[in-house]
Amino acid sequence: MSISPDLAGRVYPAGDPYIVGREKIREFAAAVKATSAAHFDVEAAGALGYADVVAPPTFAVLIAQRADAQLIADPESGIDFSRVVHADQRFTHHRPIVAGDELVTELHVDTVRAMGGGAMITTRAEISTTGGRHVATTISSLLVRGEE
Amino acid sequence: MSIDFDSLSVGDSIGETVVSVNRADLVRYAGASGDFNPIHWNERFATEVGLPGVIAHGMFTMGSAVQLVTDWVGDPGAVVDYQTRFTKPVVVEDVAGASPTDAAGTEISVSGKIGTRDDDARTVRVDLTVSAAGQKVLVKSQAVVRF
């Protein structure tokens, strides 16, 4: 099954909020070998002006990949997950993510470009608080390799 | 923040570091990130799909490389934009004879220098060079830091 160019422009609306946990930030920070005390210690984060521990710069991938999963799971997308290669990634932070945030994500399929027998799909996740404040924009390009 | 923005110039080095990654680190990242793709932990599956072996998550490499920047600036929240392209996989061997948890692992070398400075926004763009086994594994890896 090939990737439909009609996917471009599709928007997947926000689902249930993602609740950012203090322990999840600590776990993720340890997993990327981050050592800044602001990821682990509420007082150290407070000294930098944060209400709680602050997420590492790539933490939002957890939230963005949940949104991407909606697209990959959509039977109309024709994406075989086993053929997906992560080609590039960008995070733009409008403000840092901290523990306690309740975040919702709207996923936009920006472009679909045929490449060989496959396609390069660029998605954009717009992440906001449940109160409507914009927190982060993540952009990912996924290369779906064609069948050999 | 101890760094004085006005003292920074394009071309200045922000330093360098080495991140070591073994199979245990990949298991930990899989669990923390929820990315359980078997190419990151199962040799048989990885080679069947044409990879040279188990490879690190691109997002592990991206996430660990930026630590050089957050340590330099002293505030993880100062990184307002961070992007990269993934070019080459980081192969992580199961080292014979080594304890699985303490195995030395693959070394990822990270260095950074200031690529641009924006006086109005009070930001600098740090350009990272990230390589493993002598090859660049991330390309156009850029972190924008706000002062």
Task: Judge whether A6 is closer than 8 Å to chain B, CB to CB.
Answer: no
Q: What is the pLDDT of residues B58-107, one digit of tens each?
A: 999 999 999 999 999 999 999 999 999 999 999 999 988 888 888 889 99
pLDDT of residue A73: 86
Residues A84-113: what's their mean pLDDT?
96
Q: Which residues of B touch A38 (CB under 8 A)?
A: 75-77
| Alpha-carbon dihedral A30, A34, A40, A45, rounded to 10 degrees | -160
Say how far apart CA B22 and CA B40 lie, in whole Å. Answer: 11
- Mean predicted confidence (pLDDT) in B112-130: 98
pLDDT of residue A72: 86
Question: How far apart (Å, rounded) are the C-alpha atoms in residues B106 and B96?
Answer: 14
How would residue A1 be classed by pLDDT, with cut points 50, 70 and 90? low
pLDDT of B1 over the 70 cut:
no
Residue A129 near residue A102 (C-beta atoms within 8 A): yes
Report whether pLDDT(B56) > 90.
Answer: yes
- Three-state DSSP class for residue A19: strand
**Residue A100 confidence class, pLDDT cut points 50, 70, 90:** very high
Contacts of B83 in chain A (CB under 8 A): 88-91, 139
Confidence band, pLDDT 50/70/90 cuts, at residue A135: very high
Across the interface, whether the CB atoms of B32 and A27 are under 8 A apart is answered yes
Residue B84, burial from CB neighbour count under 10 angstroms (0-12, 13-18, 19+): buried
Kindly report, residue by residue over B17-54, the tens digit of the pLDDT: 999 999 999 999 999 999 999 999 999 999 998 899 99
pLDDT at A61: 97
B124 membership: H or E segment, kind and range: strand B123-132
Average pLDDT over residues A9-23: 94
Record: contact B25-A91, CB cut-off 8 A = no
At residue A17's C-alpha, the angle toward residues A15 and A18, to 5°, is 120
As a residue count, chain B comes to 147
**At residue B113, does pLDDT exceed 70?**
yes
* Res. A148: pLDDT tops 80: no
